[in-house]
Amino acid sequence: MCKADEGHEHEHNHAHTHANGHTHSHPHSHEHTPGTRVRVEKDVLGKNDRLADYNRGWLAGRGVLALNLVSSPGAGKTTLLERTVRDLADLSPTVIEGDQETDRDAQRIRAAGCRAVQLNTGVGCHLDAAMVARGLEELNPAIGSVVFVENVGNLVCPAMFDLGERAKVVVCSVPEGDDKPLKYPHMFRAGRVVLLNKTDLLPYVPFDTERFIEGVRQVNPTLRVIPVSALRGDGLGEWYDWVRAQATRRLPAPV
């Protein structure tokens, strides 16, 4: 830092020079090499969003409904899907599995009699639209079918990434606690429907369903909550009706 009243000649390579004894009072924070400003004004997620739009077009062209299942790890997405793909076999479902490592979930889905593609994100904490584009191409779902995308178990990051899906389905389970909507509001805001899973455990764990629903309403008043037990089958009829309603909506209106 240059003291203004010392009057020394400083050694910086300025464009202007000062005579000996000249005092200047400005601090030394000015730009030495002012650069050129370049206006950018680009959304950081723009590339992902464009790829998501590409996926949406790809899916619409084939009349395929894609649903993006998001939850924390262990909420029961795979168990839910094992049952769903069996019970909705008439919709020719297929599954894109996203996990950091292993193809364990894809194996479970295949064992349930359904085609599945496993995507491994490695260190990545979510699926993005580019990964799903590759997954869709490999999966090659039938015209008019339903694709379930099981995202990486993570209640934070997948909320930000549009994959080109029709809707995000949030799976939240009773043992996680009734405070999750307010603690992870981005995910509950991004979702279209919440499956409150593992309701068979309600007698054994402290969980206030009303408090959970109240939290959901605060974050996203239009979000529908469907209590289910993927293990026991409770409430799945309502979930299947919801999927079927979405599947009907995917077809273009008759001319």
Minimal distance, residue 163 CB to other proteins, in Å: 14
Binding site for other proteins (CB under 8 A): 33, 35-45, 47-48, 124-126, 128, 156-157, 159-161, 182, 185-186, 189, 217-222
CA angle 96, 164, 183 (to 5 degrees): 85
How many whole angstroms from its chain centre is CA 41? 24
**Within 13 Å of residue 194, how many CA atoms lie on the same side as its CB?**
30
Residues 6+ apart with CB under 8 A from 4: 23, 24, 25, 26
**What is the sign of the dihedral through the CA atoms of 155, 44, 95 and 244?**
positive
Minimal distance, residue 50 CB to other proteins, in Å: 12
Minimal distance, residue 68 CB to other proteins, in Å: 15
Distance CA 26, CA 16 (A): 14
Minimal distance, residue 136 CB to other proteins, in Å: 21
Minimal distance, residue 47 CB to other proteins, in Å: 7
> With respect to other proteins, which residue has the nearer C-beta, 80 or 190?
190
Contact 170, 228 (CB under 8 A): no
Contact 52, 162 (CB under 8 A): yes
Pairing of strands 224-227, 65-70: unpaired
> With respect to other proteins, which residue has the nearer C-beta, 40 or 245?
40
Minimal distance, residue 43 CB to other proteins, in Å: 6
> With respect to other proteins, which residue has the nearer C-beta, 142 or 225?
225
> With respect to other proteins, which residue has the nearer C-beta, 48 or 84?
48
Distance CA 27, CA 10 (A): 13
> With respect to other proteins, which residue has the nearer C-beta, 38 or 245?
38
> With respect to other proteins, which residue has the nearer C-beta, 40 or 143?
40
